[in-house]
Amino acid sequence: MSKKKNKKQRYSEVKQEIPVHDDPYWEVSGIYLDPQRISRHISKFDRFEDKYPFWVDELMEGTPTFYCVLGVAKGTEKNETEKAFEKKMKLSCYSDNVIEEAFEVLSSPDLKKKYDELLSLFRQITKCMPPEEKNELISNHNNYIHAEKDFIRMEVLTATYGGYFSLYPYGIPDLYEIIGLDKTSPFKEIKRKCKTGSELFKKIYTILGDPVSRADYDFMMHFTIQYGDKKIIKKRNSRQKMWDNLDNDLFEKIVFTALTESIDAEESVKRFTEILNRNPDWKQYLPSNNKTFFSILGLDSNSLSGDKKEIEKIMREKYRPLEKTPEVNLAYSMLKNASLRDDYIWLIEKSEILSIFSDIIFQENDFSSETIQSDEMKESFQSDKIYTQTTFGNIIETINKNN
């Protein structure tokens, strides 16, 4: 077989159908050239590796370009780049150090110019990469793109299901489990189970009875299993027992709240705890007891809204004829302070549910933030990769970015 024919065969082995166009600035050449024919480019690339090893390592592992990492195009203004950076730091499959480096580079005209030069060299260098390594590089890049799309979709869904999602690690039952059906159940069976049921069941039907909403919910559950911290997910099985012991009405109220309100269970419990730690004497004036600060003054909480002067007038009129006991004075001094009053009203409205949240989250005496957050998801994505290190022969040595 001639040398020319051999090269043609090796070129055809590259899987051209693998999409790389989702990252328009990441280009892998489809041809194969002998390294000697691009030695000038290789020398420049080696110098880049010496000066900017992190940039080179990421490219050679298949990590998308810094433009793709932040989701910005060339020519994007700095303030838009900053917004993109802040957004990606909250939820992304990319590690924080990659996102931070991307922001530093794309915020600096000089660094950005050098990085663009590296991208051009990268395409040249891939010409002498063996097909099997080139295919692996493309596959790695493709995996990153697909994973980040999952994270982007999940970010949108957390705005709708954030309350429910925050309780998932703590054992909140799956919606299919609540209505007693399998995940493969047809829509007509879901309708039969939910339409004449409780308020919660009717809410579940709006999710599982709608093809789009059901697909979103199923994806959210898949995402949680795929990218969530495996140890935390494993713990939720034992935590489900606590939900089984709840009064049914209270259970449905909590799940309904989680599905309808943008409430972060852990953050809410933190606020709940902080407020009561600052004001320990409030505990005996929550709804679980016989009286509240409002009832002590003969007030309706709904009456204290609107103009500040009008609120103060209403309170003075209620306070003036009362015997000035320590309890009455405490109620008056607290409620006339707008900030304290807001905290207290929030406690009253959420106290029953927050008490349950607190019991669930504190049940193992460990309040070390076990909500499935971005960092755990990133670590899970990184550790689950089954990428073989791209060797690129003796031309360039790459480094595993997790080391």
pLDDT at 313 over 90: no
For residue 52, give every residue at least 6 positions away whose Cβ sits within 8 Å of its Cβ, in sequence order, or none: 114, 115, 118
Residue-level pLDDT at 348: 86
User: pLDDT of 49-83, one tens digit each?
Assistant: 999 999 999 999 999 999 999 999 898 899 999 99
pLDDT grade for 270, boundaries at 50, 70 and 90: confident
User: What is the spatial distance between Cα 93 and Cα 96, in angstroms, rounded to a whole number?
Assistant: 9
Q: Cα(157)–Cα(148) distance, rounded to whole angstroms?
A: 14
Domains in the chain (CATH in brackets) are 12-130 (no CATH), 171-263 (1.10.287), 266-362 (no CATH)
- Cβ atoms of residues 91 and 62 within 8 Å: no
Where residue 289 falls (left for φ over 0; alpha for ψ -120 to 50; beta otherwise) is beta
The region of weakest confidence among 122-131, 149-158, 198-207, 363-372 is: 363-372
- Span 186-199, average pLDDT: 93
